[in-house]
Amino acid sequence: MSILDNISNYYEKLVLEELAQQAVQHAGDDEFLTDVACVALNSLPARYYRHGVDMAFYLPSGEYLEMKSRVKLAVAEAIARVEEDARTASDSGAAEEG
């Protein structure tokens, strides 16, 4: 077992939860959702923990609410960016064909 198997980034959990709320129209598009998750996570700091109970007991509620707020904004911005990149790629493909 690797040390990496014992640690997790709490923001990953929060981003996935927020994606379920904001990206309902993309629910079956794993490629889109994966891209959005990566873009959002790259804009957030890492918050690693070893045991889930560590976050439940030692994270002050004010800090948790701040993290949720940052995640909500990061996911919204990531969705917009990935959608824009897809439109740009689609427009470029159509221009090359035309």
Confidence band of 91 (pLDDT split at 50, 70, 90): confident
Pairing of strands 8-9, 48-49: antiparallel
pTM of the model: 0.85
Neighbours of 3 (CB within 10 A): 7
**3-state class (DSSP) for residue 67:** helix
Q: What are the residue boundaries of the structural domains of the chain, listed by start?
A: 3-93
Q: pLDDT tens digits, residue range 43-81?
A: 999 999 988 887 878 889 999 999 999 999 999 999 999
